[in-house]
Structure 1
């Protein structure tokens, strides 16, 4: 039997096993994660390397849990949330609408920054809008297989750029190995949590099950290949993030160089690379930065649109997997429109303070929501007994919950301080 994209129920060949996991990992590694890791490296050298590795392990656990639930039950993650009570819809509905509006503007601006630096003839806003329209066209008309190939190219470019930058700095291997031993330098707790919690995605982790379905992996017989896909994807992500920390430690920490906050911090790093190794190094890094930003944009335009489509379809009583909720369906396309065009207004008019505050509050709460609901779903009769959590999975998810709760409280305190 074939799915909508021509995939079959038979297990894939070895060269076909990579895809959905790489999409989740690539989508989740955005500019904010890179800057957080760079800052950790610039402030503490290799001391927080273990936190980056821990972050990858935690995300492997969460994504594997989301994938395992989808394959074991044949249900989407939103169907699982619905089974926990109406409160999940009351949270998720407003969150995904507000998140999409603000993220759309942030993603387009984030892609515009490096492209403007590479090709200054066009402004950041113009480049951002062009990238938004490109993403719109690709996910509106493109099939899943094409989307997956484009994302693989983006991942290759960002990986080569960052790993290449790390290799240029000639990392101190003994110091790097010492950084794998957990330690907490004075004042580093928030940096530790930011690095561990920020590696590899937020809401897009929950999109994994939808990408599995679009790939044609939708029964328990794909459990082994799903786990391989997820593990390899986050190993690649781990190498990418570790490379970022190496650059921060060798290029910034050792020289006492501070970088700007936010996405502009990556532009600062491109300037440092160009000054140290020549203009070509800065340009290669900017290409990688642009690829990382564009992969996040494309991943959200596709994956979160599938989540929204499922939310609307289930709210309207449609069967799971209804055509209106799949790639190309009308609810899927509604959200693509929402991500692309209304946020352009924010790019020209500035970002309303109240909207940004609400976005920050809701965004901070999503990862604890995901971790807690996965614990609930994977330890009850909502999941067949064979595929429920084992002790180590529960322990890892509890650690995830604690880390993301502390980060949420920190973020909420920051947003409340802005109100004051």
Structure 2
């Protein structure tokens, strides 16, 4: 992720915020001034300048939006997109832009909450559950465990790309190595060294996808006409639900995105941290407004690029694979997808596509291993406050990753079908999504103070968000009825 803007480069500010009635600083939170180490009681005012909003500032502020997009430009794009195009042509193309529209506010609200309130949205989840058995934390913790299918499916997809280039190891062993390498990099703390290389590889991969789209694309009228919603084709119900679950990404990425924003110390996060240390904070008039502008750009740019790329994957799959009846499946998934591009550019593009596909899918596995473990850790320490210390947090974080590694390996050897496992995981993600979406709306509605009112979403955005929740409920119910209830009751 990009570093936080340099405070010395920011503009003057004037508004003063009094210290809030917040809990004491946790032992794992950094002391920015060294006052705690010297025993001095900080009493001075800290001035925080508004960040700039130019091109360079936008680039430096980007991070949580890109990280969220990286969780989507993986299984959904590389696996669901070409599979839908290969099997059903353009029939499911409309699902992609509509999924992006329905889910937009789930991610926007979570990130907005963190910037304005200066805390993870999981604080709001906890408040919602007080006096009600802390059910949102239990719900999110259970979802984290159920997402084992997701991590196994993504690892299998990455393994299929590796197997296409290096078939000397079985698919299952490649998948386990993908899981192990993700955990190893996280535990070693060496992910920064890989970040640039992975991002550049994904960019090259995305460029190849778009070039193939422009070279292979039929007349726009042929596929644009399929953007009107229609019922899914016969036999496509599981894939239909899977696409709603994974495009643009899963809704549980919203609290992950909120946690990443906390780590980036954007907006009011830095203000609250200084206030917990006893400082008065003097803010520029546009401090928070400019942070919100930068966050919206980060999210919107990443969101639009992700959506266009996803549609391109499906269209190219429909053009190249559908006419010859070739569908990505089993261990041949990687080579089938690579054939789309070798048929377009020649055999020389094969290593580029494999490297890009591996980078995209591996980064998704890696990001989920970190983000989902953080969410599970937060659920645990909020359910049992005695665990809220650095050592126990680290044990929970790593213990969850070990659990995922073991359970994911069992799924990989028990069901070595990349496309099927990812479709199951995607459908489960769809079923979890309406409640998580509702929690994000409630977080904004119930926790913004009168001082935060200028930064509330508009009524139109609230209506948009409720439409998203209702849409996901209807889609989930429709698939559950047709796929499971109607056959059960005849």
> What TM-score, normalized to structure 1?
0.82
Distance 1:293 1:186 in 2: 27
User: Which of residues 409, 415, 420 is equivalent to 2:477?
Assistant: 409
Q: Deviations over 1:327-357 (max 9, x none)?
A: xx33322222222234223333458xxx999
**Distance in 1 between residues matched to 2:350 and 2:194, nearest whole Å:** 28
- Contact (CA 8 Å) 1:82, 1:88: kept in 2 or not? yes
In structure 1, the residue corresponding to 2:172 is in which secondary structure? helix
Tell me how far apart the structure 2 counterparts of residues 331 and 157 of structure 1 sit (CA, whole Å).
Answer: 36
Kindly indicate whether residue 366 of structure 2 is the aligned counterpart of residue 298 of structure 1.
yes
In 2, distance between residues paired with 1:323 and 1:153? 34
Answer with 210-219 or 102-111: which moved more. 102-111
| Conserved? CA contact 1:28–1:201, under 8 Å | yes
Task: Say if 2:64 is the partner of 1:20.
Answer: yes
Number of the residue aligned with 1:116? 163
* Closer/same/farther in 2, CA of residues 330 and 146 from structure 1, 3 Å limit: farther
Partners of 1:9 and 1:216 within 8 A in 2? no
Q: Distance in 1 between matches of 2:424 and 2:317?
A: 32
Out of 194, 203, 206, which is 1:156 matched to? Answer: 203
Within the alignment, does 1:228 sit opposite 2:297 as a pair?
yes
State whether residues 83 and 317 of structure 2, in contact with CA within 8 Å, keep that contact through their aligned partners in structure 1: yes
In the alignment, the residues of structure 1 paired with residue 136 and residue 429 of structure 2 have an alpha-carbon distance, to the nearest angstrom, of 15
- Which of the two has higher C-alpha Rg? 2
Partner of residue 308, structure 1: 376
1:39–1:248 Cα contact (<8 Å) kept:
yes
Deviation at 1:290, TM superposition (A): 1.9
User: 1:90: Cα distance to partner?
Assistant: 2.9
Instruction: Give the 3 Å change call, closer, same or farther, for CA 107–358 of structure 1 in structure 2.
Output: closer
Are residues 403 and 158 of structure 1, via their aligned partners in 2, closer, same or farther at CA, if it must alter by over 3 Å? farther
CA 62–166 in structure 1, closer or farther in 2 if over 3 Å, else same: same
Task: Mark the CA change 1:131 to 1:260 in structure 2 (over 3 Å): closer, same or farther.
Answer: closer
- The question of whether the paired residues in 1 share the 8 Å contact of 2:242 and 2:427 is answered with no
Shift in Å at residue 270 of structure 1?
Answer: 2.6
What is the match of residue 205 of structure 1? 254
Query: What residue ranges of structure 1 are gaps of 5+ in the alignment?
Result: none
What do the CA deviations read for 1:178-197 (whole angstroms, capped 9, x no partner)? 555x3537749967775455
1:214-268, CA deviations, whole angstroms, 9 ceiling, x for partnerless residues? 2222524522211111111112202211211220332234x25341457855543
**How far 1:67 sits from its partner (Å)?**
0.2
Which position in structure 1 is the counterpart of 2:264? 215
Gaps of 5+ in 2: 1-5, 8-28, 33-46, 269-287
Compute the TM-score of the two structures, normalised by the length of structure 2. Answer: 0.71
> Deviation at 1:91?
1.8
Match of 2:145 among 94, 97, 100: 97
Residues paired across the two proteins, number: 410
Could you say what secondary structure the match of 1:378 adopts?
helix
Instruction: Label 1:361 to 1:127 Cα distance change in 2 as closer, same or farther (>3 A).
Output: closer
Equivalent residue number for residue 311 of structure 2: 242
SS at structure 1 position matched to 2:249:
coil
Establish whether residue 268 from structure 1 lines up as the match of residue 336 from structure 2.
yes
Cα distance per residue 1:63-119 (max 9 Å; x no partner): 11110112222232222112112221232222212323x333323222211101111
